Each structure stands twice: as structure tokens, then as C-alpha cells.
Amino acid sequence: GIQVEQSPPDLILQEGANSTLRCNFSDSVNNLQWFHQNPWGQLINLFYIPSGTKQNGRLSATTVATERYSLLYISSSQTTDSGVYFCPNTNAGKSTFGDGTTLTVKP
């Protein structure tokens, strides 16, 4: 099946720092999204980004579908950015998640 490899698995930052999270896919990128899972377990949709670049405030994402990877940029990180980040891809009904990147932002 499709594999999603996320890196790094864990990331610890000081508040105000920038970071880049990456997802590599073993198959074609179709309905790709970035989610933030908050400490209460809720999955918060950040971007729907099967290709191209999008920005929303301090966050931006880029997907290069031809090379099967996606990047999430977090600038000026805040403690509320802490949590786990996922980049599932859904293809013909099958959804595949990686193991996530756990981000900890320290004050």
C-alpha cells in the first residue's frame, strides 16, 4: 500500500523559532491535507494542498506532486503550535497517514 514517511518524528523548538516538516509519499499525491492534532486529540485542518503553495498566517505549505513530497513551514512558533502534525493522502478511497511529527514549542 501507499507509504507516508514524515520527518522529523520529533521536534523541540523555542518559542519564536521557525521549522519545516516534511512528508514523502510512495504513490501519487491526490487529496493531500495537513492536520494539527491538538492536545485534546482533535484534528484541525490546516491545508488542503494536492499541489502548489498556500499560506495562512504564520503557516504555509508546499506540495510538489511530481516528486511526491509536501512541506509545512511554521514561522515564529508559539506554544499553541505544540501537538502532532499529519499529512494524510487519500487516493480512490484509501487514506494513508504517516506516524506524524510531534512538535513541542517551549516558552
Binding region for other proteins (CB under 8 A) out of 11-19, 53-61, 63-71, 86-94: 86-94
For position 98 contacting other proteins by CB under 8 A, the verdict is yes
Site track 20-39 with other proteins (rule: CB under 8 A), x = hit: ----------xx-x-x----
Tell me what percent of the chain is helix, strand and coil, each rounded to the nearest 5.
5, 60, 35
d(CA 80, CA 60): 16
From residue 27, give the alpha-carbon distance in Å to each of 39, 56, 66. 30, 27, 10
For position 97 contacting other proteins by CB under 8 A, the verdict is yes
Helix (H, G, I), strand (E, B) or coil at 80: helix
Q: Which residues bind other proteins (CB under 8 A)?
A: 1, 4, 30-31, 33, 35, 41-43, 45, 48, 50, 86, 88, 90, 92-100
